[in-house]
């Protein structure tokens, strides 16, 4: 028999039920969104400076740092989200278990104190479930375009033409020639200036090319020759990832040109 002076756990008192319903895990997703925004702004700053600097050696490290910071933020968001979801279930489960226990009274106080009667421990239930979540996290899908950019920037920085295999919705096999993403618009045959991607078939074209292509048409077949989707101009939205590819490709080209200049001047 336990020699506790007071019971370690008690069922919730019926007068406390109202307070119990107000128990809610804190929603910190807004704070995380602010962090994502800040990381994204920092990335733009780095890339804009890279164009001016023309030397990419320090940029490599900055992009890599930013990328791992982003991954840490995403992991935290993920954990928070899962904790939030399971907390709701735990509270419900705890209440059911607790309601099944006899209400505390002078008569059964000793039974609760000595452990003849036991009430569930909310703390233990939460701790146990959180441990499972931390050990088996479920990866979340980054939906915002800023999050997507931060997720892929490290890969694209290394090779602006790289094929991103983890996301099927932004890339399409038809765009890949020899495992490379082309940075030129099939309509204008120039490097993308304002890339726009189809929500329907995920083919990307430059805005100026699309404006010409849809002139006088409400719907038309996708300009990609191997694609027969019927599209409207309004099916297209700005392609953030393609824009990032082009920006980085320009930075790399600029750095190469600077190297050439140095060699020439020697
Ligand atoms: Zn298409």
Q: Write down the ipTM of this complex.
A: 0.99
Q: Where in the chain is the domain with CATH 1.20.120.1010?
A: 14-135
Q: Cα of 177 to ligand 1 centre, how many Å?
A: 16
CA gap 11, 20 in Å, rounded: 12
Distance 186 CA to ligand 1 centre (A): 11
pLDDT < 70 positions in the chain: 1-3, 54, 137-141, 165-178, 259-266
Cα 44 to ligand 1 centroid, rounded to whole Å: 30
Q: How far is the CA of 189 from the centre of ligand 1 (A)?
A: 16
Distance 181 CA to ligand 1 centre (A): 15
Rounded to the nearest whole angstrom, what is the distance from the C-alpha of residue 209 to the centroid of ligand 1?
14
Q: How many Å apart are CA 81 and CA 139, to the nearest integer?
A: 11
Contacts of 49 (CB under 8 A, 6+ apart): 59
Compute, in angstroms, the gap from residue 213 CA to the centroid of ligand 1. Answer: 13
Which residues are within 8 A (CB) of 43 and not within 5 positions of it... i.e. 6 or more apart? 63, 66, 149, 150, 153
CA of 223 to the centre of ligand 1 (A): 7
The CATH number assigned to the domain with range 159-264 reads 3.30.40.10
Q: What integer pLDDT is reported at residue 26 of this predicted model?
A: 72
pLDDT at site 129: 87
Note the CATH architecture for domain 14-135: Up-down Bundle (1.20)
**Residues 200-234 pLDDT 10s:** 999 999 999 999 999 999 999 999 989 999 999 99
Question: What is the residue-wise DSSP string for 142-187?
Answer: P-SHHHHHHHHHHHHHH-TT----S-TTT--GGGBSSS-B--B-TT
Specify the pLDDT at position 178: 53
Closest by alpha carbon to 231, among 199, 184, 207? 199
C-alpha 175 – ligand 1 centre gap (Å): 10
Residue 3: the pLDDT is: 64
Separation of CA 185 and ligand 1 centre (Å)? 13
In this prediction, residue 57 carries a pLDDT of 78
Q: Tell me the CA–centroid distance for residue 226 and ligand 1, in Å.
A: 8
Location of each CATH 3.30.40.10 domain in the chain: 159-264
Residue 115 in 3-state DSSP? coil
Tell me phi and psi for residue 198, to 5 degrees. -75, 130
């Amino acid at each position: 028999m336990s020699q506790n002076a007071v019971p370690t756990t008690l069922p919730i008192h019926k007068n406390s039920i109202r307070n119990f319903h107000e128990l809610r895990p804190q929603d910190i997703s807004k704070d995380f969104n602010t962090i994502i925004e800040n990381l994204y702004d920092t990335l733009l700053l780095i890339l804009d400076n890279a164009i001016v600097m023309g030397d990419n050696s320090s940029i490599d490290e900055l992009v890599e740092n930013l990328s791992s910071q982003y991954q840490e933020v995403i992991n935290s968001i993920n954990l928070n989200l899962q904790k939030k979801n399971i907390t709701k279930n735990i509270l419900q489960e705890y209440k059911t278990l607790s309601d099944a226990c006899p209400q505390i009274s002078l008569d059964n106080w000793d039974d609760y104190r000595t452990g003849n009667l036991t009430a569930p421990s909310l703390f233990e239930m939460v701790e146990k479930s959180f441990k499972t979540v931390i050990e088996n996290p479920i990866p979340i899908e980054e939906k915002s375009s800023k999050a997507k950019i931060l997720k892929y920037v490290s890969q694209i920085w290394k090779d602006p033409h790289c094929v991103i295999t983890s996301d099927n919705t932004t890339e399409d096999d038809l765009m890949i020639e020899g495992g490379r993403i082309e940075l030129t618009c099939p309509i204008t045959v120039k490097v993308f200036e304002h890339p726009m991607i189809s929500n329907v078939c995920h083919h990307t074209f430059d805005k100026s090319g699309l404006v010409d292509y849809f002139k006088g048409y409400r719907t038309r077949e996708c300009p990609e020759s191997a694609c027969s989707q019927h599209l409207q101009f309004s099916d297209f939205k700005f392609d953030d990832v393609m824009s990032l590819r082009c920006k980085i490709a320009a930075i790399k080209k600029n750095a190469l040109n600077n190297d050439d200049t140095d060699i020439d001047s020697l």
